[in-house]
A = this chain, B = another copy of it.
């Protein structure tokens, strides 16, 4: 028996979600289930540039087309996926899409997005309805992390993410890719571009101090770039240990102080995941 909304007191659920275990321990969670859509279409489309892929995403959202999924993979990630999953996708900035709805609804949506993609010089728009073909289309995206790691067998993957206002996403993505291209560490990019959010997996040898240093530099510069462009140093992953030094830059000294006071109120002994989120 679960009710859908309440205004009784403070929103404790959303305070605890994302608190990284620093306020207490979640011992029980109730999950909301959604029905299977009547019909699903998956699609893939390649673009000549990052900007063309992001523009397609923005225009799609502006048209109010109800996207179920819209995922961006850069040409480095596509190369990694082709290699790992034995596929032969074009190795250029690519969008993976999914539409949910009624039979005629999803076809209409897919056609509308194909038109927007074409306008932005997208090419090779493929779409599929049958589950087996859909799974084949999405395989590259689903195996993306393993494909990254496989670029350097024996190495580890350091995942990091940022989120910026969507109008600044092409600029942040382009500058981040330039930084990654200059580095000896491979860093394929996967993005939830509809949210202005993207991730990279930096594949490195954790026993090599030079590589560890390089990964820290790339991660820090990516976070700083996002903060300078009115974004957040982490869209999904959280602050943890690695981004503690950015929190004050992002939310200000007063913001950090308020969060610390909340932490002190709920965890006066400081025993809940100590050291995370805050510098001291």
Residues of A within 8 A of B (CB): 1-12, 14-15, 17-19, 23, 34-35, 37-38, 62-64, 66, 100-102, 104-105, 108-109, 112, 163-168, 195-197, 229-239, 243, 246-247, 250-251, 255-256, 258-259, 261-262, 264-266, 277
Contact = CB atoms under 8 A, between A and B. Distances in A.
Q: Which of A18, A63, A165, A261 has the most C-beta atoms of chain B within 10 angstroms of its own C-beta?
A: A18
A1 B243 contact: no
A262 to B, nearest CB: 6
B10 A259 contact: yes
B8 A233 contact: yes
Q: Which of A3, A105, A262 has the most C-beta atoms of chain B within 10 angstroms of its own C-beta?
A: A3
Given A64-B100, A105-B108, 16 more contacts: A1-B165, A3-B163, A3-B165, A3-B231, A4-B197, A7-B237, A9-B251, A10-B19, A12-B255, A14-B14, A37-B64, A38-B64, A102-B108, A102-B109, A105-B105, A262-B265
Contact of A232 (B6, B37, B234, B238): B6
Looking at chain A's contact residues, the main secondary structure is loop
A107 to B, nearest CB: 10
Contact of A11 (B3, B6, B14, B232): B14
Contact of A196 (B4, B104, B108): B4
